[in-house]
Structure 1
Amino acid sequence: MKLMAFGLGYSATAALRRLAPKEAIGTTRSAAKAAALAPLAEMHLFDGSGGTADALRPALSGVTHIIVSIAPSEGSDGGDRVLPVLAEALADRKSLASIAYLSTVGVYGDHGGAWVDETSDCRPKSARSVARLKAESQWLAFGARVGVPVAVLRLSGIYGPGRNAFVNLMEGSARRLVKPGQVFNRIHVEDIAAAVERAFATKAGGLFNITDDEPAPPQDVVAYAAELMGAPPPPEQDFETADLSPMARSFYGENKRVANGLGKSALGLAYAYPNYRSAFDRMWAEGSWR
């Protein structure tokens, strides 16, 4: 395996560690991040511009697998940042066997708390989710054109080491916002890595929700973490009157329960962290939350 990771961030790094490819190429927009990630992969600076694409082309020789984890550009011309400048270079790679595109369940938009699956209507509300849905279509079309399977992995709220309610409680930033009826799904970063591994192993193409089994109210998640820590939970706050950034408030404008059955059946994915309680129990016991 020679792995190309466009956007070697939190989730893609977990996938790279799990896959342990013979060769790994990664991109980031930050020179500091590139230096920090250099022990894991041959790093290149890439921001979607033609200049950074030209510098990256030689590294694509022999690439067998691709992970795309770059946020799309927004606006009327928004969409994927990779394909406009590298589609033809990637199409010429006869070695290419499989692509995993890391997307978001945000593309479903608001469904009033109802269950959604991969056949449900997409009603994205935010500009970022509209752009993400367009990028999904672009990668699926590219895969169809070149005959390479593209697995679009729609991820729910990501947590794992260094990013979780324990950390927020320790830092004093945890909040228990209460909006009646509001639920969110979550996904541990190691289950994302496992989903990428299974997508590559099965050479699956299409849409897959990668999310836990149990959509839950966010205030319950914080309270459970506090209980495990033996710490008092932060007081409940009414969502309507809480002081929130526009982005934070926008997340609460979408309410849905996301089903994950297709990933289990088609990819053979078995979740190591099927709900927040079992995940937090294990993370706290192992110390893997830090």
Structure 2
Amino acid sequence: MPHMLILGMGYTAARLAARLRDGGWTVTGVRRSPGPDMLAFDDMPAIHAAIGQATHILSSVPPQGDDDPVLIRYGAAISAAPARWTGYLSSTGVYGDAAGAWVDENSPIGTGRRTARAQADAAWGALRPDLRRFRLPGIYGPGRSALDRVREGRGHRIDLPDQLFSRVHVDDIVGGVIAAFDGPPGVYNLSDDLPCAQNRVIEAACDLLGLPWPPLQSLDEAGLSPMARGFYAENRRVANGRAKRLLGWRPRYPTYADGLRACL
């Protein structure tokens, strides 16, 4: 019986867990507080036992400050675990700003604003030779998309005409992780096929909802948080060809238009 241990049961990991359970898997999650099929992150004896029993181990926990809490507390145990598959959900933010150019898995990392994320990515890659790292761009899906931002009055159109981003539907991440169960270890970008300006996504969401487009604004006029402003500080297109070639993965939602229609 396959048994997946997921450290960090956030939005994406919860979607993966549901998919696996529907397929007959045993899934044990880890989060800050315990619950059904859920261990508390600080329950070290229980988590060490789960690490020893799991056939598959995935961490989706981002760095906290300068450190990766999973690596600090459980890295040695995961390194020595008998699991036949291990994975880590990383971020395409490790590539930094590419001035709108394409980046792939061979592009340098660690030059952007997410130094801790790049360091964690590299540390996970050195942990085990059989590890799969999934570098993810902006994640959206049901309950967490431009449709929700527009409905809540948080949809902004920023006057940066040359800004380009990549994104991925949460269920395409799930599909990519599952495809990697039988694929070779290494690094995989999981992104859709159409990098574009965020304004186009907001405009499409407004059109689907029958609402007017928000006005173009500068970053200062939009009153964005420092985290949101940082999103606009980097500009890149993320190539996904390696996952397609080596995993046989294809995004179910290859463009933002496909994904938004499914969310609606």
Question: Do these two structures clear the TM 0.5 threshold for a shared fold by scoring above it?
Answer: yes
In the alignment, which residue of structure 2 is the partner of 1:141?
Answer: 126
In the alignment, which residue of structure 2 is the partner of 1:287?
Answer: none
Residue in structure 2 matching 1:236, options 216, 226, 239:
216
DSSP-derived class of the 2:69 partner: coil
Tell me, in whole angstroms, the C-alpha distance in 1 between the residues paired with 2:81 and 2:206: 50
Tell me, in whole angstroms, the C-alpha distance in 1 between the residues paired with 2:201 and 2:182: 33
Residue in structure 1 matching 2:62, options 62, 71, 74:
71
DSSP-derived class of the 1:102 partner: strand
Is the contact between residue 106 and residue 124 of structure 1 (CA under 8 Å) also seen in structure 2? Answer: no
Is the contact between residue 100 and residue 199 of structure 1 (CA under 8 Å) also seen in structure 2? Answer: no
Q: CA deviation at 1:197?
A: 0.1
Tell me, in whole angstroms, the C-alpha distance in 2 between the residues paired with 1:243 and 1:169: 16
Tell me, in whole angstroms, the C-alpha distance in 2 between the residues paired with 1:86 and 1:11: 21
DSSP-derived class of the 1:8 partner: coil
Tell me, in whole angstroms, the C-alpha distance in 2 between the residues paired with 1:243 and 1:179: 15
In the alignment, which residue of structure 2 is the partner of 1:24?
Answer: 27
What per-residue deviation string (whole Å, max 9, x for no partner) do you get for residues 48-93 of structure 1?
xxx5334422233321101110011333xx2x22222223333443
Tell me, in whole angstroms, the C-alpha distance in 2 between the residues paired with 1:200 and 1:276: 26
In the alignment, which residue of structure 2 is the partner of 1:281?
Answer: 261
Is the contact between residue 18 and residue 194 of structure 1 (CA under 8 Å) also seen in structure 2? Answer: no
Is the contact between residue 169 and residue 226 of structure 1 (CA under 8 Å) also seen in structure 2? Answer: yes
Between stretches 51-60 and 105-114, larger displacement belongs to 51-60
1:59 aligns with 2:81: no
Contiguous gaps of at least 5 residues in structure 1: 285-290
Number of aligned residues: 261
Tell me, in whole angstroms, the C-alpha distance in 1 between the residues paired with 2:110 and 2:46: 37
Q: Give the TM-score of the pair, scaled to structure 2.
A: 0.93
Tell me, in whole angstroms, the C-alpha distance in 1 between the residues paired with 2:211 and 2:202: 11
Tell me, in whole angstroms, the C-alpha distance in 1 between the residues paired with 2:60 and 2:207: 34
In the alignment, which residue of structure 1 is the partner of 2:252?
Answer: 272
1:101 aligns with 2:88: yes
Tell me, in whole angstroms, the C-alpha distance in 1 between the residues paired with 2:208 and 2:75: 48
Give 1:79-98 correspondences, 5 Å limit.
Answer: 80-94=68-82, 96-98=83-85
Is the contact between residue 184 and residue 257 of structure 1 (CA under 8 Å) also seen in structure 2? Answer: yes
RMSD: 1.6
Contiguous gaps of at least 5 residues in structure 2: none
Q: CA deviation at 1:234?
A: 1.5
Tell me, in whole angstroms, the C-alpha distance in 1 between the residues paired with 2:93 and 2:51: 31
Amino acid across the alignment from 1:101: Y
What per-residue deviation string (whole Å, max 9, x for no partner) do you get for residues 202-230 of structure 1?
2x211111101111111111111111111
Runs of 4+ in 1 over 4 A off after TM superposition: none
Residue in structure 1 matching 2:158, options 177, 192, 195:
177
Is the contact between residue 156 and residue 222 of structure 2 (CA under 8 Å) also seen in structure 1? Answer: no
Is the contact between residue 137 and residue 191 of structure 2 (CA under 8 Å) also seen in structure 1? Answer: yes
Tell me, in whole angstroms, the C-alpha distance in 1 between the residues paired with 2:95 and 2:53: 36
In the alignment, which residue of structure 2 is the partner of 1:113?
Answer: 100
Tell me, in whole angstroms, the C-alpha distance in 2 between the residues paired with 1:57 and 1:213: 39
Tell me, in whole angstroms, the C-alpha distance in 1 between the residues paired with 2:257 and 2:25: 36
